Each structure stands twice: as structure tokens, then as C-alpha cells.
Homo-oligomer: A and B are copies of this chain.
Amino acid sequence: MPRTADHDERRDRIARALLRVVARKGLADTTMVDVAEEAGASVGMVQRYFRSKKDLLRFGVEHLYRRGAERLEGVERRPPFRDLLLRLAETLLPLDEERRTELTVWLEFLPATVTDPDLAGLHRGTTRLLVDGFADAFTIAGQTGAFPTENDPTEEAVALVSLVDGLTIHHLLGSDHFGADRIRTVLCTHIDRLLAPAPGTTGA
């Protein structure tokens, strides 16, 4: 009988190698040979696990989103709501080397997401989950008074996600004014403002 290998482990190893190469060289300059070398494997082996380059890329993106979801799930669900919200949102920012790498790769894949229907679906699904997740959290927080009822949960979720992603992109591109401290402060201010009751409203 034939020999056996841990397929899932191999696929993951290759996917992680892909992400490292893309983070280093950019998606446009990433070749199958690069990925194979980075994974310490041959091109043939990469081909064995991924029928085509497109397959490999799709799996890589899935891996990426999975990692993001894991990180979000790992956040402590401890009140007060304001701090919890801040922890969740900060999780999405490139504030350490690992997230920086992953989000750089995410940025590399964004344009492909416009063209490729599979990637588009993946992106939309993930974004939807994220926005709905925040919106649900806002709705629940509204019942305990931690979120002003005059605000629309979905709108606020859209705003928060957009702000975070905008900050992320500019930070990654190295724009002036978008240093790590600054983007944290901006996020903080935004959250405090959206949780504060509107001026003309009584706090009770």
C-alpha cells in the first residue's frame, strides 16, 4: 500500500508560504516557483495540492479571512461595551508585524477581488458577517443603554468598518499623519463619539 501524507497540513504550509511571498514581493511578482521555494517544496508538489495558480490564490485568501475571524473570536468579551468595541476594532488594524503582513496581503488581493467573481463572493460574505456582527452588537448594547438608540446600528457598523479599513490602507501605504499612534487615537475618538448621546438628548 502507498505511503501517506497529511494533506491538510501541506495545503496550509503552502498557503502560509504564499502569503509570506505576497507580503514580501507583491502579488504581481509572485510566481509558482517562489511559493514552492518558500514552502521548501517543489513546483510539482504545489501543483499536486492546487490544480492551478488561481486555486492556490483563492485558498490563500480564504486562509487570510479565516485568520482574521479567529483573531476576532479570540477577543475577550468583557464589558464595558466601549472597551470591548475598541478591542474588536483594534484587532482589525495592522498594529503588529503579523497583522501588518496579513493586511498587506489583503491589500494586494483587493484589486483581484474586483475582477474575480469567486474572490468577490468571498469578500462580500466576509464583509457582510463583519458588518452584521457589529450591527448586532450595537443593537444589543442599545438595550442596555450603552449605545444611543437614535443611531442606526447598521449605519454605525458600516461607518466603523469603513473607517478601520481606510485607516489600515493609509497606514500600510506609509502616508504621513497615519502613524500607529494616530490611527489608534482616531479610532478611539470615533467610538467615543458614536457611543455618546446626541447633544440635544437627555442621557436618561
Contacts and interface: CB of A to CB of B under 8 A. Distances in A.
Chain A contact residues: over half helix, strand or loop, or mixed?
helix
A158 B182 contact: yes
A95 interface: no
Contact of A164 (B123, B166, B186, B203): B166
A196 B193 CA distance: 10
A137 to B, nearest CB: 15
26 contacts: A26-B114, A28-B28, A29-B115, A108-B111, A111-B111, A114-B173, A123-B175, A127-B177, A127-B178, A128-B175, A128-B177, A131-B176, A131-B177, A155-B182, A155-B189, A158-B167, A158-B177, A158-B178, A158-B186, A159-B163, A162-B163, A162-B178, A162-B183, A165-B165, A165-B170, A196-B198
A194 interface: yes
A170 B159 CA distance: 11
Number of chain A interface residues as a range:
35 or more
A99 to B, nearest CB: 15
B111 A27 contact: yes
Interface of A: 25-29, 104, 107-108, 110-115, 120, 123-124, 127-128, 131, 154-155, 157-159, 161-167, 169-170, 172-178, 182-183, 185-186, 189-190, 193-194, 196-199, 203
